[in-house]
Structure 1
Amino acid sequence: MAATNPRAARIAALIQRVIASSMERTLHDKRLEGVTITDVRVTGDLQIARVYWTQLGHEGKADGERKRAEQALNQAKGRLRSLVGVKAGLRLTPQLQFVYDEVPSEAHEIEDILTVARKRDEELERTRQTAQYAGDEDPYEPERPKRTAEDFE
């Protein structure tokens, strides 16, 4: 998202739509199954477009599937760039760079951490409900009555 340049933001959104639909309709590569384009960021000079992607993989096979999908995206880079150029109608089509998006996997890790923290909070609350003071309930001395001059006579 190029928030500083509105044209770059529009082109980034267009590139994201074109690549996502092209992967579905034009590229018939089994290695790209489960690949999702999460974001596209275009530089201010419109020369480079970083395409962030993620993949829903199977447990235990995620690393291999990710490498194969990355290879397929890099092989289809030229074709995708030409499709973007045709659809966008730009004089110069940005160079595509595919970057694996770590955010979804990190989000799962954060959710796991928050779940553990909630469980600790619940245990702490249960402990607080049955907790008792170690000493007197009020460890401070009660106020003494004020003495007057008559008390010292």
Structure 2
Amino acid sequence: MPSKRPLKVADRIKEVIANLLETRVKDPRLGFVTVTDVKVTGDLQQASVFYTVLGDENAREATAAALNSAKGMLRSEVGRTLGLRVTPTLEFFLDVLQESANAMNELISQMHQADRELEQLRKQAKPVVENPYKHV
């Protein structure tokens, strides 16, 4: 049975990093960022931090640069707060799950619209002959 410890550590890291980004990181490049998830390896050596940024591609790039420059301070604070024997190495990844979900919803909406248009055309359609099932 897999250990629940990595999940608990990941939750704590998520809380600590979200708090630090809000209160301690003053980098002007840091946009409106939300930590969406943290995954920790089973040996607690590496933590993948997933985040989203409100804004365009420039805001995403600037935020990625700000996170990478604050990585050392964030790791130190995570280690100090959690009191782990070895502090996990932090890696930051832009979470594209929400964008993918939005794109999927848009495709589904387009399909529903096409279905409604097809239904309207079907209702207005008239057979070419009076009784299409009668053999001539």
Question: Aligned partner of 1:43: which letter?
Answer: T
1:86: which partner in 2?
A: 80
- The alignment of Structure 1 onto Structure 2 pairs a total of residues equal to 135
- 1:89-125 Cα offsets, whole Å, 9 max, x none, are 1111110001111112222211221221111011011
Which of 40, 48, 64 pairs up with 1:50?
A: 48
Which of 8, 11, 14 pairs up with 2:12?
A: 14
Query: Could you say what secondary structure the match of 1:96 adopts?
Result: strand
| Structure 1: gaps spanning 5 or more residues | 142-153
Give 1 or 2 for the bigger CA radius of gyration: 1
Which of 33, 37, 60 pairs up with 1:35?
A: 33
Question: Aligned partner of 1:51: which letter?
Answer: V
- 1:14-54 Cα offsets, whole Å, 9 max, x none, are 00000000000111122222111111000111110000111
Which of 64, 67, 75 pairs up with 2:69?
A: 75
Identity of aligned residues (%): 40
State the distance in 2 between where 1:105 and 1:126 align: 32
State the distance in 1 between where 2:131 and 2:30 align: 66
State the distance in 2 between where 1:80 and 1:72 align: 11
State the distance in 2 between where 1:42 and 1:49 align: 4
State the distance in 2 between where 1:94 and 1:140 align: 77
RMSD of Structure 2 on Structure 1 (CA) = 1.9
TM-score where L is the length of structure 2 = 0.89
State the distance in 1 between where 2:41 and 2:130 align: 67
CA-CA distance at 1:67 after TM superposition: 1.2
* Mean CA deviation greater in 127-136 or 37-46: 127-136
2:93: which partner in 1?
A: 99
TM-score where L is the length of structure 1 = 0.80
| Structure 2: gaps spanning 5 or more residues | none
